[in-house]
């Protein structure tokens, strides 16, 4: 009787654990999708700002860096750094110390062609102590 009771309890717990894990995985996937959608919308929205016109004509001043810094502060921990580059050189950044540095763009992992233009994502490094998702987009002409 003890063996039968053990087997039935184990089977019931196994089913319950599988269902709980499946529910948690589905919830986590939905949260990741929603967060990624919000970040891509942010990126697409910033591309349309008049302030970004300065990048296209090469007339960048402190207003753009101040704007990027304000965004980083407002989103409190969502963004590590926000950069604007021309030919891999940082011309405006949320961290002023990065201006003038060259950045190496990581290989594109995913590419989304949206109505406002393409968005490229680089694969996060899961072995990093602080993995990050790098998003890139080009300004429209």
Residues 26-49 pLDDT 10s: 999 999 999 999 999 999 888 888
Indicate if the pLDDT at residue 67 is higher than 80.
yes
pTM: 0.76
Question: Residue 116 pLDDT more than 90?
Answer: no
Tokens of 118: 């393409």
User: Measuring CA to CA, how many Å separate 83 from each of 16, 18, 66, 132, 133?
Assistant: 46, 43, 12, 14, 14
d(CA 132, CA 92): 20
Nearest to 114 by CA among 26, 32, 29, 48: 48
Residue 61 has what pLDDT?
78
Q: Quick: pLDDT tens for 79-105.
A: 999 999 988 999 999 999 999 999 998
What per-residue confidence (pLDDT) applies to 74?
A: 94
pLDDT the model gives residue 99: 92
Q: Using the 8-state DSSP alphabet, how is residue 130 labeled?
A: S
The angle formed by the CA atoms of residues 103, 115 and 90, to the nearest 5 degrees, is 15
Mean pLDDT computed over every residue of the chain: 89
């Amino acid at each position: 009787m003890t063996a039968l009771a053990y087997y039935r309890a184990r089977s019931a717990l196994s089913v319950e654990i599988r269902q709980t894990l499946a529910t948690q995985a589905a919830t986590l996937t939905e949260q990741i999708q929603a967060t990624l959608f919000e970040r891509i919308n942010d990126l697409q929205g910033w591309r349309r700002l008049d302030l970004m016109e300065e990048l296209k004509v090469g007339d960048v001043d402190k207003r753009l860096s101040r704007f990027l810094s304000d965004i980083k502060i407002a989103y409190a921990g969502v963004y590590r750094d926000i950069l604007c580059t021309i030919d891999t050189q940082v011309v405006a950044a949320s961290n002023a110390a990065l201006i003038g540095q060259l950045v190496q763009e990581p290989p594109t992992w995913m590419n989304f062609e949206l109505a406002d233009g393409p968005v490229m994502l680089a694969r996060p490094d899961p072995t990093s102590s602080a993995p990050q998702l790098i998003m890139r987009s080009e300004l429209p002409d």
